[in-house]
Structures are given as structure tokens and as C-alpha cells.
Amino acid sequence: MSKTTVYEVEVMFGDCDPAGIVFFPNFSKWMDAASLHFFVQCGVPPWRELVKTRGIIGTPLLEIHTRFLKPATYGERLQVHTRVEEWREKVFIQHHVVRRGDDVLCEGRETRAFCIRHPDDPDRIKAIPIPADIRALCGG
């Protein structure tokens, strides 16, 4: 069964824009933090460890799709509920719901791949098949 984790964020003044509400790319930043938090909660080491032991630099994004339902402002505490919705061979879909208590503020799907440095050119990155042991840790 897929696991769901909850990552809590407190909105800072500097996260908000001249309209007084969260500048929307910050929701993507928080979903990204929630994505990594999901893996760490499932027992996967952080990327700075995995890069040393297995060459995995993280799970860069191939695609994001996000809907914004209600704004948030500084001082508020938000909860990002995260799970893996689908595992494919080389990519997986992570689903996030950002809530403020009972209010749903924002919902997003991310398509990600586990990546290593490209063997022919360390400045490029390359997707690898999803490691079976990591998938198993995540209840996939």
C-alpha cells in the first residue's frame, strides 16, 4: 500500500508577494521539500548520501501540474500531504495536497525520475530505472 506523509510549513513574510499572498512558485518549493521528506520518512537516505553510495543525485522533475484553489499568507501553518500515485519503469508520479487544516489550498502532481550524472558528460544528468529497493521502502 502506498504511504502518505505530511510535511508542515510555516509561511514566512518573504514567501509572500506584493498582493500579500504566497508567491505561487513557493508552493512548488514546498512540494519539492515534501517529496524529499516522503523518501526520508520511508527510510531512503538524503540525496547527498545517495550520490556518494550509488551516484543518485536526486529525483529531478520532468513535469508538474498544479492547481491553486485558495491563497495563503504569512504566519499561517500549512500541511503538505504527499504520496506516490504511480510507479512506472523510469518515472513516478508524486501527488501533493497542500492544506491549511481543513482547507485545501493547492494540489499538484509531479513526474520525477531518479537521476545520475551522465557517464559520458558529468555536466548532464540521466534517468535510471526506478531502484527496486527504494520503491519497496516506499510501499510501492
Active site residues: 17
Distant-in-sequence, close-in-space partners of 76: CB < 8 Å, separation ≥ 6? 10, 11, 100
Assigned C-alpha cell, 38: 516522503
Cβ 4 to a second copy, closest distance in Å?
19
Count the helix, strand and coil residues of the chain and give each as a percent rounded to the nearest 5. 25, 45, 35
For residues 62 and 136, which CB has a smaller minimum distance to a second copy in the complex? Answer: 62
Q: Residues 6, 41, 42, 64: which binds a second copy (CB under 8 A)?
A: 64
If we measure between CA atoms, which residue out of 115, 133, 131, 132 comes closest to residue 123?
A: 115
Residue 47's SS3 state is helix
Shortest reach from residue 60's CB to a second copy, in Å: 7
Residues 33-62 touching a second copy, rule: CB under 8 A, are 33, 36, 40, 46-48, 57-58, 60-62
- The residue with cell 514566512 is 12
Given a contact cutoff of 8 angstroms between Cβ atoms, the answer to whether 56 and 47 are in contact is yes
71 forms part of the interface with a second copy (CB under 8 A): yes
Q: Is 92 in the site for a second copy (CB under 8 A)?
A: no
Tell me which residues touch a second copy (CB under 8 A): 10, 12-14, 16-21, 23-26, 28-30, 32-33, 36, 40, 46-48, 57-58, 60-68, 71, 73-75, 123-125
